[in-house]
């Protein structure tokens, strides 16, 4: 599930000035009128801003903003299921005095594309790397977490070639993430993939602050964006340890390596420097947020019965 905010003045940190952005076209917008604000797959990582009230910042939603989503569901059971996607927002109904704003920064090995890349190998270990991103604004980093597909081991976020955060995958950490044995007496649907037995149940995250009392988080090695830096992400896969999902022809399915970072920006937001005059078209599947709210927590999408990508 990818969550977007569409509205005047929204600029996608990594796709603005970068030509076409397919996910934003998908919701009828552009990088000069929207941003990829949240995403979650099977790992269902919650987004915690202003944890325990210790960070006086939140994601300011204005009356002109709309929300849009791309939802990708996958049923690996042999029978039909009714599923619900639930997103829970915590908010305060104003922008409190002295609070800063929060901006998402989306890193992707298929930056501004569909996020899906072909696995470069059919077995063993490999690494997929994003294009470098150079920030043009200097602010504090609040936190970052990664997203991989089955077969993934860890997602590294690097600043100038040094590891800033290692987002480690846990596979099958909960019975809900272990596929039931197939009933071989039943014929397979003609388009069925052959799924790995264990699926990613968690991705660890890194925080810039003290994690709000959460002692299991990792600290960010770099806590500030600077225009002299170059940021990349590396997705580490190892099919010898963690089998991937196979297409019908037996080939490894396409994979992803994504990280979403949140940075603290001034109350009034920031303007990116790349010139672009494209304007936002109205979002199609948009749900209008109530005006002037300030989101402080966004737990991961909760999906019942089926896996989400
Ligand atoms: Cu994915």
Residue 69, both tokens: 């989503």
Distance 305 CA to ligand 1 centre (A): 18
**Integer angstrom CA distances of residue 120 from 59, 129, 246:** 37, 11, 14
Distance 175 CA to ligand 1 centre (A): 20
Distance 274 CA to ligand 1 centre (A): 28
Distance 41 CA to ligand 1 centre (A): 6
Distance 245 CA to ligand 1 centre (A): 12
For 232, half-sphere exposure in the C-beta direction (CA atoms, 13 angstrom radius) is 12
Distance 8 CA to ligand 1 centre (A): 28
Distance 236 CA to ligand 1 centre (A): 14
Distance 275 CA to ligand 1 centre (A): 30
Residue 40, both tokens: 């979650």
User: Could you list the residue range(s) of the whole structural domain that residue 55 is in?
Assistant: 2-308
Residue 110, both tokens: 């298929």
273: exposed, middle or buried (C-beta count within 10 Å: 0-12, 13-18, 19+)? Answer: exposed
Distance 148 CA to ligand 1 centre (A): 6
Distance 65 CA to ligand 1 centre (A): 26
Distance 267 CA to ligand 1 centre (A): 32
Per-residue pLDDT of the chain (309 residues; tens, 9 = 90+): 899 999 998 989 998 877 778 888 888 888 888 899 999 898 988 887 765 557 788 999 999 999 999 998 888 777 899 988 888 888 888 888 888 999 999 999 999 998 999 999 999 999 999 999 999 889 999 999 999 999 999 999 999 999 999 999 999 998 989 987 765 666 666 667 788 889 999 999 998 876 555 556 678 899 999 999 999 999 999 999 999 999 988 999 999 999 999 999 998 888 887 533 222 222 222 223 333 455 554 444 333 233 344
Distance 169 CA to ligand 1 centre (A): 13
pLDDT of residue 225: 94
pLDDT of residue 295: 54
Residue 79, both tokens: 């029978």
Distance 256 CA to ligand 1 centre (A): 5
pLDDT of residue 213: 59
Are β-strands 57-60 and 100-108 bridged in parallel, bridged antiparallel, or unpaired?
Answer: parallel
pLDDT of residue 305: 31
Q: How many domains does the chain have?
A: 1
**Integer angstrom CA distances of residue 100 from 49, 69, 88, 215:** 11, 25, 22, 25
Distance 63 CA to ligand 1 centre (A): 31
Residue 229 dihedral angles phi and psi, to the nearest 5°: -85, 165
**H-type helices in the chain, by residue range?**
22-26
For tokens 């990792």, the residue is 218
Distance 309 CA to ligand 1 centre (A): 4
Distance 73 CA to ligand 1 centre (A): 10
Distance 114 CA to ligand 1 centre (A): 10
Distance 255 CA to ligand 1 centre (A): 7
Mapping DSSP onto H, E and C, the string for 107-158 reads: EECCCCCCCCECCCCCCCEEEEECCCECCCCCCEEEEEEEEECCCEEEEEEE
Distance 40 CA to ligand 1 centre (A): 8
DSSP per residue, 58-119? EEEPPTT-EEEEE--EE--SSS-----EE---EEESS--TTPEEEEEEEEETTTTTTS-B--
**In this structure, what DSSP letter does residue 179 have?**
P
């Amino acid at each position: 599930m990818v969550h977007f905010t569409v509205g005047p003045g929204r600029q996608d940190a990594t796709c603005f000035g970068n030509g076409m952005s397919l996910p934003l076209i998908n919701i009828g917008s552009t990088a000069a009128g929207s941003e990829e604000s949240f995403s979650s797959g099977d790992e269902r990582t919650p987004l915690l801003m202003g944890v325990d009230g210790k960070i006086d910042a939140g994601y300011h939603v204005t009356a002109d903003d709309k929300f849009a989503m791309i939802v990708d569901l996958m049923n690996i059971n042999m029978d039909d299921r009714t599923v619900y996607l639930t997103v829970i927002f915590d908010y305060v109904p104003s922008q409190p005095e002295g609070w800063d704003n929060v901006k998402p920064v989306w890193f992707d090995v298929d930056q501004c594309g569909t996020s899906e890349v072909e696995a470069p190998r059919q077995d063993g270990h490999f690494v997929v790397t994003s294009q470098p991103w150079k920030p043009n604004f200097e602010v504090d980093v609040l936190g970052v977490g990664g997203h991989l597909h089955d077969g993934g081991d860890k997602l590294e976020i690097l600043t100038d070639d040094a590891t800033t955060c290692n987002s480690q995958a846990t596979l099958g950490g909960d019975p809900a993430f272990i596929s039931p044995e197939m009933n071989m007496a039943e014929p397979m649907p003609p388009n069925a993939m052959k799924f790995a037995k264990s699926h990613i149940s968690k991705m660890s995250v890194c925080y810039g602050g003290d994690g709000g009392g959460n002692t299991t988080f990792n600290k960010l090695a770099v806590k500030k964006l600077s225009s002299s830096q170059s940021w990349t992400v590396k997705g580490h896969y190892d099919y010898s340890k963690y089998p991937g999902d196979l297409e019908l022809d037996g080939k490894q399915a396409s994979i992803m390596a994504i990280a979403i970072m949140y940075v603290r920006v001034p109350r009034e937001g920031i303007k990116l420097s790349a010139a672009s005059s494209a304007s936002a078209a109205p979002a199609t599947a948009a749900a209008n947020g109530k005006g002037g709210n300030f989101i402080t927590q966004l737990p991961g999408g909760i999906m019942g019965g089926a896996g989400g990508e």
